Every structure is written in C-alpha cells, then in structure tokens.
Structure 1
Amino acid sequence: MKTDISAPSYYTSGSIETWDFIIDKHLDFLEGNIVKYVVRWKEKNGVEDLKKARVYLDKLIKEAEKVGDGS
C-alpha cells in the first residue's frame, strides 16, 4: 500500500531528501532525529528544532558512553 505523503520544502531543498540521507547512512532513530531537526530548523520551528536536536544528541551521547563508544 502506497501512501501519498507531502514532501515539505524543509526536507527536500537539497540534492537529497532527508529521509533518503538517513536511510543511506544507516542512521538509527536518535541519529535520524538529530539530522531531521537540524535540517529543518531554519524553515520550520526555528530554535525550538535545535533544542529538540540537542535532546536527541544528549541521549545519543549517554547511550554511547554506556557502551564505551565515547571516543
């Protein structure tokens, strides 16, 4: 089943759509959300999106430190 999803300009203004980049780079949920919020912040929710990205980044850092990936 294919759903018609509108592609807002804040996700498609570059040469690749944000979700295609996330998939291509095999980013996990936290990483994907960081990219999503940073990509759209200027055109959608401003600084609020940067704050959301920071929440996901802080969580990613905590998880990386748990498994010793905090190089």
Structure 2
Amino acid sequence: MSDPLANQAHYTAGDIEPIDYIKAQGWFPAFACGNIVKYVTRYPHKNGVEDLRKAKVYLDWLIEHEGGK
C-alpha cells in the first residue's frame, strides 16, 4: 500500500517541508493526533477508506516519532 501523503509537489515547494517545520517546533504529536481524529471522523462522509489510510499514515508517523524517546 502506498503512502497517500508522500511525494506531493505542494509539500516540497519551499525551503523546508511543512512537516519538518512542525517537528522542529515540537508540535508534531499534537499535529498528528489532530489529523488522526480529522481523518477517522470524516471517513464515512467524505473519502471512505482513503481517509482511513491517511489516518494510518499519521498514526504510523506518531508511533515512529514516539518510539525514539
């Protein structure tokens, strides 16, 4: 299964990817949790399984981030 958030040009257009800036500011755990909640709660009404896949990407990133502690 591919990462639905990977390699999208609008994320890499600037000098720093937004996700890297968020991590550098220490905001990543809250950001990831917010996106997990967003995608899980909207999946039955908007994009179905695709939204669940996006939630999983954020959950996997959060697990990886927290695993380094």
What TM-score range do you get, normalising by the shorter chain? Answer: 0.5 to 0.7
Aligned residues: 41
Which 4+ residue blocks in structure 1 deviate beyond 4 angstroms? none
CA distance in 1, matches of 2:32, 2:39: 11
Question: 2:57 corresponds to which residue?
Answer: 55
Where in structure 1 are there 5+ consecutive unaligned residues? Answer: 1-26
Larger RCO, structure (CA 8 Å, separation 6 or more): 2
TM-score, normalisation: structure 2: 0.58
RMSD, aligned CA: 1.1
Structure 1 vs Structure 2: percent identity of aligned residues?
Answer: 59
CA distance in 2, matches of 1:66, 1:31: 17
Where in structure 2 are there 5+ consecutive unaligned residues? Answer: 1-28
Query: Which has the higher Rg, Structure 1 or Structure 2?
Result: 1
- For 1:28, what is the secondary structure of its paired residue? helix
TM-score, normalisation: structure 1: 0.56
